[in-house]
Structure 1
Amino acid sequence: MPALLGDKLVIAISSRALFDLDESHQVFEQEGLEAYRQYQIAREDSPLEPGEAFALVQKLLHINSLLEGDSRVEVVLLSRNSADTGLRVFNSIQHYQLGITRAAFAGGRSPFTYIPAFGCHLFLSTHAEDVRATLEAGFAAATILPSRLRRETRDELRIAFDGDAVLFSDESEQVFQREGLAAFQASEQAAARQPLGGGPFKPFLAALNRIQTEFADAPCPIRTALFTARSAPAHERVIRTLREWNIRLDESLFLGGLDKSDFLQAFGADLFFDDQEGHCQRAVGVVPTGHVPHGISNFKKPEST
């Protein structure tokens, strides 16, 4: 009988998000595929250094050890490498004793097509095109930005989300960008009791929330937070939407356009997801950040002639 991942939280991650492959990628860029292949084979017994999302993966997998043998988190490696060049990645996984046993090596092509088959809730990659394709297919995904930040040593996993175009649809953001702040506030106040549509990260947050409910009688290893530029009166629709979804966030910050960076640093986010590149570039200086290229803020405007 085939194994099933069932109701696990399934995270897909690229090899370059999990490990530091910058040096070998430079070989590929400058000398080509065969030189890259030989480079990796010659070093396949040398463990790679941790990458941007390594600490996040460690904390996710640590949750399994707290559930008395009930494995609820699965991390799957999705890589553009071939199995031949990917052996160094798997050897590094074993070196760090990460509980990752499943992988898809796509041999130079985008591996995002395997996300539905694995039942993934989230894909993390450094390859922006793969991330966009995943979002367009209806799955949560983010481009992990380079930060080189010092990693937190605590076991608690802290995930921070932007609201519109991430947790929620971008319907309200469209009003804001088309008509301005006053129209946005008036529209949200008028629709305060009308739930927002779900954004690409709604299923991921729901899966996190299901795991959180299993720690009702013990300290929970996951803490979630919303960091939104909204303020009163646009806050009410957000609160009522989450209530309608029966999804709980541990913390919610309505910042009214303030820079999120200091607040994210105070929260101690292990990863922050935002759809706007400007917000991401500021946040990545203080916390690991994933850009979500989704919604109106990421539509390419036609060039004027």
Structure 2
Amino acid sequence: MPSGFGNKLVIAISSRALFNLDDSHQVYQDEGLAAYAQYQIDREDEVLKPGEAFPMVQKLLRINDRLEGEPRVEVLLLSRNSADTGLRVFNSIEHYGLKITRAAFSGGESPYRYVSAFGCHLFLSTDAEDVRSALENGVAAATLMSSSSPQGDDGSPLKFAFDGDAVLFSDESEQIYKSRGLEAFTENEKSSAKQPMTGGPFKAFLSALHGLQTEFGPTESPIRTALVTARSAPAHERVIRTLRAWNIRIDESLFLGGLEKGEFLKAYGADVFFDDQKLHCDSAGQHVATGHVPHGVANN
């Protein structure tokens, strides 16, 4: 982590995840880069509508108002725009009062290479290839999908929800399930119950969230976390012991035994849910903002 950020939670987000750029992206696809650039310049004083991650970013930045001293949350903008075409994005950031001051405009190139340089804990984008590249470089990342039920910032706590295998944990157990079936998976988890699992791509991000949560009282934290997994008993024990070994607290744990996750995520009130399997993401996206994590055996 760059020393200038100290112990901050650092989130990087693409311009298309923060704002709705569907119209201008369509211009780019239909008419090319020059037409896109002119489209953005002509409309640089027109405020962009919020995108999928906008409410989450509002809640993240609001956490800084709850703590004294230096801000503890930093949100960065990473964009394929040039600084010239990105002026509309920054004008919109200013309009909404978002305290985002750092950005990398990569002029058409993939901006993921700046994720590590900034020391980011999480990268959110609508570009699946950028997300894969970030994951391959050891940074938690997800492709934000369009949600049928976008959330608003209603002043409630920021609620993250995570799948387990291949997201918080490695996909070693899932590999057994995929290759040898449920019975072999269950037997492996029973025999390995006291052996903590290896961390997955989102372990470091969860740990950073936990560190931020500890700065508040148990009932005062503006962040809540939930594990929402297809596992059920007896495969639950290894999960519990793994989190205990990591010294990380999860506020809520749902062991669904294969049930669809969407309704449970809606009941929890998730601001964003992360899962490695596209099928689960499609179901969840009907209810909450969802990030697909293209990692592990399910994405090979």
TM-score (norm: length of structure 1) = 0.96
Cα-to-partner distance string for 1:207-241 (whole Å, 9 max, x where unaligned): 00001000027611000000001011110100000
- Counterpart check, 1:260 vs 2:280: no
Q: What is aligned with 1:303?
A: none
| Stretch deviating more after TM superposition (155-164 or 213-222) | 213-222
Deviation of 1:150 (Å): 3.7
Which amino acid counterpart does residue 170 of structure 2 have in structure 1? S
When the two chains are superposed, the root-mean-square deviation of aligned CA atoms in Å is 1.1
Provide the C-alpha distance between the structure 1 equivalents of 2:189 and 2:115, rounded to a whole number of angstroms. 34
Provide the C-alpha distance between the structure 2 equivalents of 1:284 and 1:210, rounded to a whole number of angstroms. 28
Total equivalences in the alignment:
298
Deviation of 1:75 (Å): 0.3
Contact 1:160 1:224 in 2 (8 A): yes
Contact 2:151 2:289 in 1 (8 A): no
Provide the C-alpha distance between the structure 2 equivalents of 1:250 and 1:217, rounded to a whole number of angstroms. 10
Provide the C-alpha distance between the structure 1 equivalents of 2:265 and 2:218, rounded to a whole number of angstroms. 28
Alignment of 1:266-285 (within 5 A): 266-285=267-286
- Counterpart check, 1:215 vs 2:216: yes
Q: What is aligned with 2:28?
A: 28
Contact 2:148 2:286 in 1 (8 A): no
Runs ≥4 residues deviating over 3 A: none
- Counterpart check, 1:98 vs 2:89: no
Deviation of 1:10 (Å): 0.3
Q: Secondary structure at the match of 2:174?
A: helix
Q: What is aligned with 1:192?
A: 193
TM-aligned CA distance change 1:96 to 1:290, over 3 Å = same
- Counterpart check, 1:182 vs 2:204: no
- Counterpart check, 1:203 vs 2:204: yes
Contact 1:149 1:288 in 2 (8 A): yes
Provide the C-alpha distance between the structure 1 equivalents of 2:269 and 2:105, rounded to a whole number of angstroms. 33
Q: What is aligned with 1:162?
A: 163
Which amino acid counterpart does residue 254 of structure 2 have in structure 1? L
Provide the C-alpha distance between the structure 1 equivalents of 2:149 and 2:19, rounded to a whole number of angstroms. 14
Contact 1:47 1:92 in 2 (8 A): yes
Deviation of 1:69 (Å): 3.6
Alignment of 1:233-248 (within 5 A): 233-248=234-249
Contact 1:80 1:108 in 2 (8 A): yes
Provide the C-alpha distance between the structure 1 equivalents of 2:165 and 2:219, rounded to a whole number of angstroms. 32
Q: What is aligned with 1:130?
A: 130
Q: Secondary structure at the match of 1:44?
A: coil
Contact 1:10 1:73 in 2 (8 A): yes
Provide the C-alpha distance between the structure 1 equivalents of 2:122 and 2:93, rounded to a whole number of angstroms. 20
Q: What is aligned with 1:224?
A: 225
Provide the C-alpha distance between the structure 1 equivalents of 2:219 and 2:225, rounded to a whole number of angstroms. 17
Contact 1:52 1:148 in 2 (8 A): no
Q: Secondary structure at the match of 2:231?
A: coil
Contact 1:188 1:237 in 2 (8 A): yes
Q: What is aligned with 1:38?
A: 38
Provide the C-alpha distance between the structure 2 equivalents of 1:116 and 1:8, rounded to a whole number of angstroms. 14
Deviation of 1:6 (Å): 1.3
Contact 2:281 2:290 in 1 (8 A): yes
Deviation of 1:110 (Å): 0.4
Alignment of 1:36-75 (within 5 A): 36-75=36-75
Contact 2:276 2:292 in 1 (8 A): yes
Which amino acid counterpart does residue 255 of structure 1 have in structure 2? L
Provide the C-alpha distance between the structure 2 equivalents of 1:129 and 1:181, rounded to a whole number of angstroms. 31
